[in-house]
Chains A and B, each alone.
Chain A
């Protein structure tokens, strides 16, 4: 996996709360990415088994809005993302405060 700038931003958003459900527009806003970059990236991550998706259950109180598709890191995805982010060069723009943080909880990081 080659950690590009946009990929790094998406992974940071996803890793910040690995249990959280994100839908596409949510990720676009949080990672400040256009849809043309985000969806192919998510598809690639999903193909590699790092991200999985599920459909929102239709609730009667949703006000008739269509169900959303939610994305979330898999366990493997969370592990790989932390590893990659920890390895990311510290000097990459304003997000350097996270890069200085030691990678936490990486069993079997020798892979």
Chain B
């Protein structure tokens, strides 16, 4: 059992971070429930050898992370805060649970994009050639995607919506990547949860 302690700490952290995605009123209860399940897994004598329990616990946490994302979509859409419109809404301030990961992913994606653009422009320097036009089209498409995503989102993080939209438009690849990595909250429920359907 000596190997379970670090696993348990890691797993509890993962569960806590997953619970951060849930609506505030569900968070505490889910955290209690899933922590209890974690204990049940780590105490499961039928899983042998004991490192299998640790593995199972981590698989459980990966599932919890997916489940939390789905549950946050399942929650009834909260009414828009007063004074918020399509482009103006209060920025959602939540604890940056996985901020380091988001920043790292954002920087990585940005580096790849910049490297790609440089590679294309050095091999095809002609501004009227199709590689150049393709880059411009991709940039416009990406901006459009980000703007559409901001407009659809019910809430965004750290900055108000109009600020994210401005950043996306002015800093073409970087702003959009920054928004997707840091400002995006996840998909909003596209349809209200249907009432119980009778078979």
Contacts and interface: CB of A to CB of B under 8 A. Distances in A.
A65 B64 CA distance: 20
Contacts of B104: none
A69 B33 contact: yes
Contacts of B196: 47-50
A36 interface: yes
Contacts, number: 78
Which secondary structure dominates chain B's binding surface? helix
B63 A44 contact: no
Contacts of A67: 32, 36
Interface residues of B, number: 28
Q: 8 closest A-B pairs (Cβ-Cβ)?
A: A35-B63, A36-B63, A36-B66, A48-B196, A39-B67, A40-B70, A69-B33, A66-B36
Interface of A: 1, 23-26, 28, 34-40, 43-44, 47-50, 65-69, 80, 83-84, 87, 111
Interface of B: 29, 32-37, 39-41, 43-44, 59-60, 62-67, 70-71, 74, 193, 196-199
Given A35-B66, A65-B39, A83-B199, 6 more contacts: A25-B40, A35-B37, A40-B74, A47-B193, A67-B32, A69-B33
